[in-house]
Structure 1
């Protein structure tokens, strides 16, 4: 009986891996070390996908099936899993069609460089290294750990400054204290991010990233993906969560913010350098995404930088 179940599980896992996972672009804010957020169901990231960042994923509502590498399991609220770099994963909730769930999970994502720097700065964090290594196959924690993690991750959603770091360390401590950890993917499973990157959507996203300052036409990208323009438009929105134009504009405005912070180029020069072909459209898109014009955004950043250079005497005098 157990042999039959094991064979069935392996067959299901192989079937789940027929489809190549999609790349999720994780945008960690420039002034933060990690990203914490929540989402409902259905949601654009609820698909078979991967990303270079580590992820700590806590289910807060619904039940269903989850997929990590070649593992398939059942989940319920309190399901707490950590996945490693480029390990494909997905959680699919069992809810009636057309049902919408406001919050399905809490998610924390951080990259390997941040983990390396943190361990180098604080030797006490070396205890985390075996957990990071085990996450290459995915790690499932106990429901008790899930209950302990929820208030920490929920507070993280609105925390700022040093409080975010203390909560992050507290969360790691919860994971380390959970002694009944279960590796999910089989020992033989190996994620192949190079192969995943060859899929149509990932090839398109990589092309956009490399050619952001150039003119990007949806017709040309559709041809690159081997699709009609209408099919590509639907395909792109389903995988990126935005229309092609919205996605490109968001990347260009994010790049513009980096150049504005550097303070070396004029706003007009930045406009053209990030790929906009006229200043009015650049200003309009910047205002739409940042809720202020680029000139004010730069002024606020300069004010922020200047405050850090104030002398102790000046601070005391104020």
Structure 2
């Protein structure tokens, strides 16, 4: 998908932005910005798109994304059913690489920070003890003011720069910039796919959604995403299958058909191609953690 440039609002009296959001859902568009983003999901579940990666997200997840890395979060369908008891909650920090001054990055004591920024260009899921420490500090930043805000941000960066408890998200952070009409078109495709992945979606059907001929749509989608629409649809289905396997409420064969696959052998083949392991191995891996 072609991401839309997003201008992150920062108050004149602040060197970086922090938000504590509580709302019905994360119905955000596919976008990018020059700021790094540290995103802590307190409540909520769904699918996230970061660079060329499609994965599930759930509460407790902390992600650091580098400058201009395109991303969006899409909640599960139940978050769009106007249930007042079902909300999402997140703390989000946006900061430019040199928000604390360009000289800081040249200090010998801070040599790990530029290295962290480079790793963040592909996105990082923060795990283990580092995640616990960063979550606590992010809560504190929401209540801090003046110099304490900067001290807490530096403490967070110090933890992230030194930890090896992280997983890289995207394999490629290059992308095409877009205009507003392109972004609206591809967000329509994304939204429609997430709402209808359980059924057969033909190229004629999805091309009509984007107001393009089938040939033009296939060429356009491949150019923008570096993958075919069929590959994109498969990844969406597999991400939902992964969540269902971890929830462990349904047999694998039922999950297969519930996620839009027409036969079990195809499901197993596509699952291993996307994840690198079989559904049973995936289930054992996460249920034994």
Same topology, TM > 0.5: yes
Please provide the CA RMSD for this pair: 2.6
Task: Kindly provide the CA deviation profile for residues 91-124 of structure 1, in whole angstroms up to 9, marking residues without a partner as x.
Answer: 2222512235555211000113326625247432
How many residues were matched structurally?
181
Match of 1:184 among 169, 173, 184: 169
Contact preservation (8 Å) 2:41, 2:62: yes
**Would you say 1:59 and 2:41 are equivalent positions?**
yes
**Would you say 1:150 and 2:132 are equivalent positions?**
no
Partner of 2:4: 22
Q: The residue matched to 1:105 in structure 2 has which SS?
A: strand
After superposition, the Cα gap between the structure-2 partners of 1:171 and 1:190, relative to the gap in structure 1 and judged at 3 Å, is closer
User: Is there any run of 5+ residues in structure 2 with no aligned partner, and where?
Assistant: 184-289
Distance 1:139 1:67 in 2: 13
Match of 2:83 among 95, 99, 103: 99
Task: Kindly provide the CA deviation profile for residues 115-147 of structure 1, in whole angstroms up to 9, marking residues without a partner as x.
Answer: 662524743222111110011111111043332
| TM, length-normalised to structure 1 | 0.51
Contact preservation (8 Å) 2:105, 2:113: no
Query: What's the CA shift for 1:158?
Result: 2.1
Partner of 1:199: 180
Match of 2:17 among 31, 35, 48: 35
Provide runs of 4+ in structure 1 moved above 6 Å: none
Distance 1:45 1:175 in 2: 28
Q: The residue matched to 1:174 in structure 2 has which SS?
A: helix
Q: The residue matched to 1:152 in structure 2 has which SS?
A: helix
**Counterpart mapping for 1:248-287 below 5 A:** none
Task: Kindly provide the CA deviation profile for residues 2-53 of structure 1, in whole angstroms up to 9, marking residues without a partner as x.
Answer: xxxxxxxxxxxxxxxxx32222210112221111112134457622211111
Q: The residue matched to 2:49 in structure 1 has which SS?
A: strand
**Would you say 1:74 and 2:56 are equivalent positions?**
yes
Contact preservation (8 Å) 1:80, 1:143: no
After superposition, the Cα gap between the structure-2 partners of 1:93 and 1:143, relative to the gap in structure 1 and judged at 3 Å, is farther
| TM, length-normalised to structure 2 | 0.56
- Bigger relative contact order, structure 1 or 2, given CA contacts below 8 A and separation 6+? 2
Contact preservation (8 Å) 2:26, 2:75: no
Distance 1:181 1:122 in 2: 25
Contact preservation (8 Å) 1:63, 1:75: yes
**Counterpart mapping for 1:88-237 below 5 A:** 88-94=70-76, 96=78, 97-99=81-83, 101-114=86-99, 117=102, 119-120=104-105, 122-186=107-171, 189-192=172-175, 195-200=176-181
Partner of 2:187: none
**Counterpart mapping for 1:8-19 below 5 A:** 19=1
Distance 1:112 1:118 in 2: 11
Contact preservation (8 Å) 1:88, 1:191: no
Contact preservation (8 Å) 1:55, 1:83: yes
Larger Rg: 1
